[in-house]
Structure 1
């Protein structure tokens, strides 16, 4: 995560502040849009949404597009109001492995079971379940699956009133899982382990399971 001051300055330079509505999209898989959505929420900004299906959905729908540079917006004041519970740091992640937190890995099944090792050492954080971020999307449209199908993906691992922490390789794909859980399925206590495997694996003594 950027520092609050750096994030505020970036948003202000884009004209994002009080009274601004932000709609986020990306070109593939939505996870970069959900990453920015998650950061906005973590810093206290609520008037933001993710375009379901992103750029592909917009183009497929026949909506207008433009190749000109985006018009500049006047700088405004972005009010930072950090929220607890959106971001898990290393200490929180270590605690989560020893309490009743539901830990969810958003990486591919191969990275989860250790048959692939895109981040060096194979395996997943001890006790973690796996919901691959790309399995949340319709392969053709890249829109999120219907709510009942999304719920079914998480049902077996979520325990009532227990916190949830999602992780991935670098804190990007994990935000798609977290977005679905919090924004679409109504789970209140969901955090993203921001450092994810990039941080976890800096210490070779930190455990992984295969």
Structure 2
């Protein structure tokens, strides 16, 4: 497998030969397509809510999309089975991480996240254009199963369980999104802020390995990551892959966990 990251200079050199997906998204702000239409980089826009997730429900706020939904969205965006894909966003590679993870989950073998995201592209002098470029539909035909996944019945027995949310949400001191505060019992908190440097690029793999090893997520460990709705934890899965650790995702995450009132909830640091 290629590296899960690509830097702006390499992307610029490879642009004619790759499919680029713009996954710009902000929690609570549904204007990613408007920002895309204003300045793109030969990319096809992919909407997180409608293309990379099913409607909210028992699976949480962003359940994994049905195979029909996801395959159709990727084909519309021009994704091909035999053509490399690069994904980017303007949200610290959180939404792009979801697209990367799903494409990998569906068996695409060459998909990478733009390191530094959209601001990194601009800082490196990457070209932009306006409007939506026309492109032929792709032939993407993958099926899920290539990335490790756990469900609500498996998550508490999943070895090292990492909650990637902010520490105050993990402790249950605040909860700005979901109706219940706290975390899954047994989880350890490794917030997403540890993954990137000040420029928004992923930290050195050795540094990441040391950071996650302190939480028990060392090479060879059974590791699962979760967040609020199964989106931002994919950035941690990518960081762990850089560190040499293969991690599972709990897609329902906190918002799915709390849909069953019988499931236990922990607060505080443990």
- Please say if residues 106 and 146 of structure 2, whose CA atoms lie closer than 8 Å, have aligned partners that are also in contact: no
From 96, 107, 116, give the equivalent of 1:44. Answer: 107
Structure 1 residues 152 and 162: CA distance shift in structure 2, 3 A: closer
The equivalent of 1:121 in structure 2 is: 180
Give the TM-score taking structure 2 as reference length.
0.70
Q: Distance in 1 between matches of 2:129 and 2:144?
A: 35
SS in 1 for 2:154: helix
**What pairs up with 1:27-42 in 2 under 5 angstroms?**
27-42=90-105
1:88 to 150, 154, 157: 150
Write the distance in 2 (CA, Å) between the matches of 1:112 and 1:10. Answer: 33
Q: Secondary structure at the match of 2:162?
A: strand
* TM-score normalised over the length of structure 1: 0.89
Q: Secondary structure at the match of 2:153?
A: helix
- Structure 1 residue ranges, 4+ long, deviating more than 4 angstroms after superposition: none
Count of residues paired in the alignment: 202
Counterpart CA distance in 1 for 2:231 and 2:201 is: 17
CA root-mean-square deviation: 1.6
Is 1:191 the equivalent of 2:248?
yes
Where do 5+ consecutive residues of structure 1 fail to align?
Answer: none
Distance 2:78 2:219 in 1: 40
Contact 1:44 1:80 survives alignment (8 Å) = yes
Whether 1:78 and 2:78 are equivalent positions in the alignment is no
Check the 8 A contact 2:212/2:218 in 1, yes or no: no
1:201 aligns with 2:258: yes
Residue of structure 1 equivalent to 2:170: 112
- Secondary structure of the 1:154 match is helix
